[in-house]
Structure 1
Amino acid sequence: MISSVSPASGSPGGGTVVTITGSNFTQTTAVRFGTTLAPAFTVLSANQITATSPAGSGNVLVTVTTPGGTSNGVAFGYSSTPVPVLSGVSPTQGPTAGGTTVTLTGSGLSGATAVRFGSVLASSFTVVSPSQITAVAPPGAAGAVQVTVVGPGGTSNGLTYTYTSAPAPVLSGVSPGQGPVSGGTTVTLTGSGFTGATGVFFGAAPAVSFTVGSATQITAVAPPGAAGPVQITVVGPTGTSNGVTYFYVGIPTLGAIVPAQGPVSGGTAVTLTGTNLLGATAVTFGGVNATSFTVVSSTQITAVAPPGAAGPVQVTATTPGGTSNGVTYVYAPVPVLTSASPTQGPLEGGTTVTLFGSGLTTTNAVHFGSTLAAFTVVSDGWVTATAPAGSAGAVNVTVTTNGGTSNAVSYTRVTGPGI
């Protein structure tokens, strides 16, 4: 008894391999398509036979004959659909364990009902277009087999695919082991079994490009990726390698710098805060490298400002993830005093002295000799200070700002008139 025939149609020229399912097939002596004997058939079990269709036309009944008689007939149609044609297979080899995804190219592949590696059905297959099918190779014995596609029009020509027992590629290292999320980092992979490699993957993403330098070395360009670790693998004719870890580093960001200014002579220790600062390779002040820096954590760096010209500059941090945004640091000019008015006052102090000059905006101390005085910043060119008490004679008056300590102007304490 026959319950089904698959495929249910084939090429008028014959050659379609048909699977017949039913019962009591053990002693089959003939398979007919209409009145024409199948040129070949194989009894796989009591319930299944494969048979090759002869040439024919129209619709016919497939029957099976055994010593017990002839079965019922199941319809098989001779279709004018063209026989599929294969022109390419890639890759052309894979491990005996199977699992290799193979791309088949050709024509007339729409409606494919089976892909075979030798006589074994592919583990799975997908019809991508009339000219392309992807199929997963089943396990097979070492050696060459013919890959064929079965469609409504018949069975295609065969292309050679070789099962190899060579070991899969092995990865032992990657350098550098990290790069920016934007991708583009060229990494060197070391290991073994790289000859004929067909793919390099960063997680599930293929490398932008790769070059097999030798059986033990590949260079690959990392694709973009999300911050965090991924496994790099190499796909070769004999399988997929183990994975080695590669880190996508987030782009660093800076949020603040404290203090935000210092003297043009440099030397100010500043604290930078932000994100993704681990692994910093440079800190620059307006393009000039910091005198030194220390990565405290992923959110903090301390750095020593280099000398610079008066005015604002952008401070940036560079890590394997890229270069951060800039935060503003101001090089304050060294203050300059040009005059004081008045230039003298009583021993007991209290005189309001006006100091004229430039670069006085950030004044943080005024000294009469070694004595601090109370002061008020009026403008960048003008500070008033209250002279402290002291002994008779001249003292040097200086102003200290974020840019340093000024030159001195003279102020003289004088004794008042006596009676």
Structure 2
Amino acid sequence: MPPTLSAISPSLGPTTGGTIVTLTGTGLTGATSVRFGSTPASFTVNSDTQITVVSPVGSAGAVAVTVVSPAGTSKAVTFTYVAAAVPVVTAVAPSNGPTLGGTSVTITGTGFTGATAVRFADVPAASFSVNSATQITAVTPTGNPGGAAVTVTTPGGTSAVSAAAYFFYAAPPVLTDSAPAQGPASGGTVVTLTGSSLLNASVVRFGATNATSFTIVSSTQITATAPPGTGSTQITVVTPGGTSNPVPFVYFPAPTLTGLAPVSGPTSASAVVTLTGTNLATATKVTFGATVSAFTVSSDTQITATAPAGPAGPVSVSVSTAGGSSASLIYTRVAAPAI
């Protein structure tokens, strides 16, 4: 009995040929020829019920596909040649993302109907969906840092590479240091972040709060202004390459002064004054007016300082710490009695 054909898949392809087509039927083992119209095609007999064939070049329209064997010629199934235009990619948005892939991009262009493949530097997209003849949504595969040409393949061919058809893979940002790594709870500390792959940073975060402002100095350095906060937190940087590892930053509460003992003393540098208050442990400076005094931190609530020499009269005393400067209290220098 002659061979029979019951199905063809796919049933259409470009006039340029090259479509891999699967023919299903019976009695195919002894096939000697497969024809698209009168044109022979290259084929492989997979089994008695299946043949794989490559469509030859053809003219737009329907053509009869038949199988010939010593037992005769099968009845025909129909393959349709499509004069499809070669697709063109005109834009990729966003045009950058992390090397680990997973970025959803919108590819804009023409001739996308029937797209069979989307590639990023010859690597197939993780997935893609043809939204229309002019738009495809694709998910990037993993890639190497740098530019990757984006191409779309349809029955009409594969799009050409152009400057508009690139996706740029960014290496993940890395932070190695923050300086200073502490500041007042009120914010405002300008922190220098060092690391690598910091270009195109879009966000700098102190915990879950965005930096008040930041400046990209280079691929290895960013300066950021700390927002208000409390306690220990982590600084991270977000770039097209993803989110960096965290580096620590500690907020210190502002110091307060509640008392001086004694509240007065001689004009000479001899009186030892005990300052009491809160958040004094990180004290960096004690001033009497504009003069810095020697001091010792006894605890988070107490400092002893030597009042510097100065003219008789009141002078403001304040403490500076990692959390800022305290409000001042008044210390009065008393002139020695004249004889």
TM-score, normalization by structure 2: 0.82
- Which of 131, 143, 157 is 1:213 aligned to? 131
Q: Does structure 1 residue 352 correspond to structure 2 residue 272? A: yes
Displacement of 1:389:
0.9
Displacement of 1:238:
1.4
How many angstroms apart in 2 are the aligned matches of 1:126 and 1:199?
A: 26
Q: 2:309 is matched by which residue type in structure 1?
A: A
Residue in 2 that maps onto 1:282: 203
Runs of 5+ unmatched residues, structure 2: none
Return closer, same or farther for 1:377/1:273 CA change in 2, 3 Å cut-off.
same
Larger radius of gyration: 1
Q: Does structure 1 residue 187 correspond to structure 2 residue 187? A: no
How many angstroms apart in 1 are the aligned matches of 2:53 and 2:192?
A: 58
Return closer, same or farther for 1:239/1:374 CA change in 2, 3 Å cut-off.
same
Displacement of 1:351:
3.1
Runs of 5+ unmatched residues, structure 1: 1-12, 16-82
Q: 2:216 is matched by which residue type in structure 1?
A: V
Displacement of 1:157:
6.9
Displacement of 1:334:
0.8
Residue in 1 that maps onto 2:306: 386
How many angstroms apart in 1 are the aligned matches of 2:117 and 2:285?
A: 67
**Mapping of residues 147-186 of structure 1, within 5 Å:** 159-186=77-104
Displacement of 1:184:
3.1
Displacement of 1:394:
2.7
How many angstroms apart in 2 are the aligned matches of 1:390 and 1:285?
A: 44
Which range moves more in the overlay, 216-225 or 268-277?
Answer: 216-225
How many angstroms apart in 2 are the aligned matches of 1:126 and 1:224?
A: 37
Q: Percent identity?
A: 51
Q: 2:267 is matched by which residue type in structure 1?
A: L
**Mapping of residues 250-261 of structure 1, within 5 Å:** 250-261=171-182
How many angstroms apart in 2 are the aligned matches of 1:160 and 1:252?
A: 55
| Aligned partners of 1:142 and 1:165 also within 8 Å | yes
Residue in 1 that maps onto 2:212: 291
How many angstroms apart in 1 are the aligned matches of 2:195 and 2:116?
A: 41
SS in structure 2 of the partner of residue 184 of structure 1? coil
| Aligned partners of 2:41 and 2:53 also within 8 Å | no
Q: Does structure 1 residue 313 correspond to structure 2 residue 233? A: yes
- Which of 121, 134, 150 is 1:203 aligned to? 121
| Aligned partners of 2:90 and 2:108 also within 8 Å | yes
Displacement of 1:398:
0.4
| Aligned partners of 2:12 and 2:82 also within 8 Å | no
Deviations, residues 116-160 of structure 1 (Å, cap 9, x unaligned)? 4634343x8796x99877665444454444556789999887644
- Which of 385, 399, 411 is 2:319 aligned to? 399
* RMSD, aligned α-carbons: 3.5
Displacement of 1:366:
1.1
Q: 2:294 is matched by which residue type in structure 1?
A: A
| Aligned partners of 2:41 and 2:54 also within 8 Å | no
Q: 1:249 is matched by which residue type in structure 2?
A: A
| Aligned partners of 2:212 and 2:227 also within 8 Å | yes
Residue in 2 that maps onto 1:270: 191
Q: Does structure 1 residue 410 correspond to structure 2 residue 330? A: yes
| Aligned partners of 2:14 and 2:84 also within 8 Å | no
Q: Higher relative contact order at CA 8 Å, sep ≥6: structure 1 or structure 2?
A: 2
SS in structure 2 of the partner of residue 280 of structure 1? coil
How many angstroms apart in 1 are the aligned matches of 2:266 and 2:27?
A: 108
SS in structure 2 of the partner of residue 356 of structure 1? strand
Q: 1:179 is matched by which residue type in structure 2?
A: G
| Aligned partners of 2:5 and 2:77 also within 8 Å | no
Displacement of 1:385:
2.2
Q: 1:183 is matched by which residue type in structure 2?
A: G
Residue in 2 that maps onto 1:323: 243
Residue in 2 that maps onto 1:304: 225
TM-score, normalization by structure 1: 0.68
SS in structure 2 of the partner of residue 316 of structure 1? strand
Deviations, residues 36-93 of structure 1 (Å, cap 9, x unaligned)? xxxxxxxxxxxxxxxxxxxxxxxxxxxxxxxxxxxxxxxxxxxxxxx79663423621
Return closer, same or farther for 1:109/1:251 CA change in 2, 3 Å cut-off.
farther
| Aligned partners of 1:169 and 1:234 also within 8 Å | yes
How many angstroms apart in 2 are the aligned matches of 1:366 and 1:158?
A: 100
Residue in 1 that maps onto 2:12: 92
| Aligned partners of 1:84 and 1:154 also within 8 Å | no
